[in-house]
């Protein structure tokens, strides 16, 4: 931590800062500049509330030196990338770029079964579908709950695709964990720390979406809630942030891919459906994500988007998905990755 003093700060003020630094269990080192004095605090500041130093007389500002996360940091694994496996043909963090596809919500037994068959035929590697839905509007469809989980399990039975589904609250974690191959924590719960903890205590991998107003530091720090409980299988998912830009539902900055890969060992995937909010923009951004080096994709697909119960505007059709998968494979190869359709992988296994 670096404490910048005001120009003309007195010796007494500098001594006050040195005392506070010692109280925090850190060591101080004073740097006398031409315009002002700076006091460096040496030691592990990650658990300290550095900002409090602002309240000491004569202090102008305080700057952190260490990123505030530990287990998520790439140094922790000696630059080894974490590999998260949902099934033999759906592994995140390696050369292959798996695609999770399916409808926003599980809309019925037949619907999800049909969706599973279609996304498999397109080449996708996992099936998504919400049984518990966090709806902005309290009067809107909230999902089928446990029945939805059963429908997903039946679709997995039939297609072999692992299933990814959202969990909304700690008391549902055990239930969802029984059925799902991967638990999703959505953007609205990105700082629901009790939920993160609960997901850290169960054995299934966690797909943890970035909050729409979280910085990268806050995101990795919150991911520690899962890691710190003993679950190392965390997949990060960028789905766009909230900005003034209104032609998209969210603003999807793909620079988060190389940035997160530099800072953390966890795989990072992209959700171009929520990231744009419009089906017409999804294929371009999916291809761009793979070109940027993403470790996977999560894409909303619906047989009949106009009649989807949720998120229809951003769902592409199975036909569009077929075409997109062909293109993703080409782009993956152009950047020395692979996006081999699941059926073809199964032929190889």
State which of positions 13-72 bind a second copy (CB under 8 A).
Answer: 20, 23, 29, 31-36, 38, 40, 42-44, 46-47, 49, 51-56, 63, 65-66, 68, 70
Which token pair is 220?
A: 């990795």
Of 316, 264, 272, 315, nearest in space to 290 by CA: 272
Which token pair is 181?
A: 């191959």
Closest to a second copy by CB, 285 or 342: 285
Please provide the DSSP assignment of 183-201 as one string. EEE-GGGTT-HHHHHHHHT
- For residue 189, the minimal CB distance to a second copy (Å) is 6
Q: Which of 145, 259, 303, 345 binds a second copy (CB under 8 A)?
A: 259
CA distance 255 to 269: 12
Query: Does residue number 338 form part of the binding site for a second copy (CB under 8 A)?
Result: no
Query: Does residue number 168 form part of the binding site for a second copy (CB under 8 A)?
Result: yes
Closest to a second copy by CB, 87 or 191: 191
Closest to a second copy by CB, 155 or 216: 216
Q: Footprint of a second copy on residues 78-97 (CB under 8 A)?
A: none
- For residue 97, the minimal CB distance to a second copy (Å) is 13
The SS3 call for residue 22 is: helix
Closest to a second copy by CB, 181 or 238: 238
- For residue 69, the minimal CB distance to a second copy (Å) is 8
Q: Footprint of a second copy on residues 199-218 (CB under 8 A)?
A: 211-213, 215-216, 218
CA distance 329 to 97: 9
Q: At which residue do the structure tokens 């998912």 appear?
A: 237
Element (H, E) at 216: helix 216-227
CA distance 83 to 62: 37
Query: Does residue number 232 form part of the binding site for a second copy (CB under 8 A)?
Result: no
């Amino acid at each position: 931590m670096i404490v910048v003093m005001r120009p003309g700060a007195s010796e007494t003020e500098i001594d006050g800062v040195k005392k506070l630094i010692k109280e925090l269990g850190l060591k101080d080192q004073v740097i006398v500049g031409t315009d002002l004095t700076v006091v460096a605090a040496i030691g592990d500041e990650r658990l300290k509330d550095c900002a409090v130093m602002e309240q000491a007389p004569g202090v102008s500002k305080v700057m952190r030196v260490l990123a505030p996360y530990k287990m998520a940091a790439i140094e922790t694994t000696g630059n080894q990338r974490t590999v998260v496996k949902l099934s033999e043909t759906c592994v995140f963090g390696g050369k292959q770029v798996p695609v999770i596809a399916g409808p926003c919500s599980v809309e019925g037994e037949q619907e999800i079964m049909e969706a599973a068959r279609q996304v498999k035929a397109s080449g996708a590697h996992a099936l998504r579908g919400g049984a518990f839905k966090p709806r902005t509007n309290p009067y809107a469809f909230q999902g089928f709950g446990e029945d939805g989980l059963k429908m997903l399990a039946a679709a997995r039975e039939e297609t072999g695709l692992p299933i990814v589904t959202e969990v909304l609250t700690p008391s549902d974690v055990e239930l969802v964990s029984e059925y799902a191959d991967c638990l999703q924590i959505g953007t609205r719960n990105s700082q629901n720390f009790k939920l993160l903890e609960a997901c850290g205590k169960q054995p299934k991998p966690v797909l943890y979406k970035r909050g729409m107003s979280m910085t990268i530091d806050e995101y990795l720090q919150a991911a520690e809630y899962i890691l710190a409980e003993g679950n190392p299988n965390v997949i990060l998912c960028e789905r766009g942030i909230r900005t003034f830009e209104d032609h998209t539902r969210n603003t999807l900055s793909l620079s988060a891919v190389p940035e997160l890969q530099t800072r953390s060992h966890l795989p990072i995937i992209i959700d171009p459906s929520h990231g744009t909010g419009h089906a017409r923009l999804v294929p371009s951004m999916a291809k761009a994500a793979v070109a940027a080096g993403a470790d996977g994709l999560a894409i909303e697909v619906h047989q009949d988007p106009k009649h989807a119960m949720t998120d229809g505007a951003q769902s592409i059709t199975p036909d569009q998905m077929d075409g997109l998968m062909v293109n993703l494979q080409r782009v993956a190869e152009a950047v020395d990755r692979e996006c081999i359709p699941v059926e073809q992988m199964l032929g190889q296994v």
